[in-house]
Structure 1
Amino acid sequence: MGKRAQRRLMMVWLPLGGILAVGGYLLVTGQRLHLYQALPLLLLACPLMHLFLHRHHGGQQDHGDDD
Structure 2
Amino acid sequence: MDVKETGLTPTEASALIGCKEYTIKELARGKKIPHYKVGNRYRFTRSALIKWMVDQEKENYINGGK
Normalised by the size of structure 2, how large is the TM-score?
A: 0.34
Greater relative contact order: 1 or 2 (C-alpha under 8 angstroms, separation 6 or more)? 2
Q: Which has the larger radius of gyration?
A: 1
- Would you tell me which structure has more strand in proportion to its own residues? 2
Normalised TM-score (structure 1): 0.34
- The structure in which a higher percent of residues are helix is 1
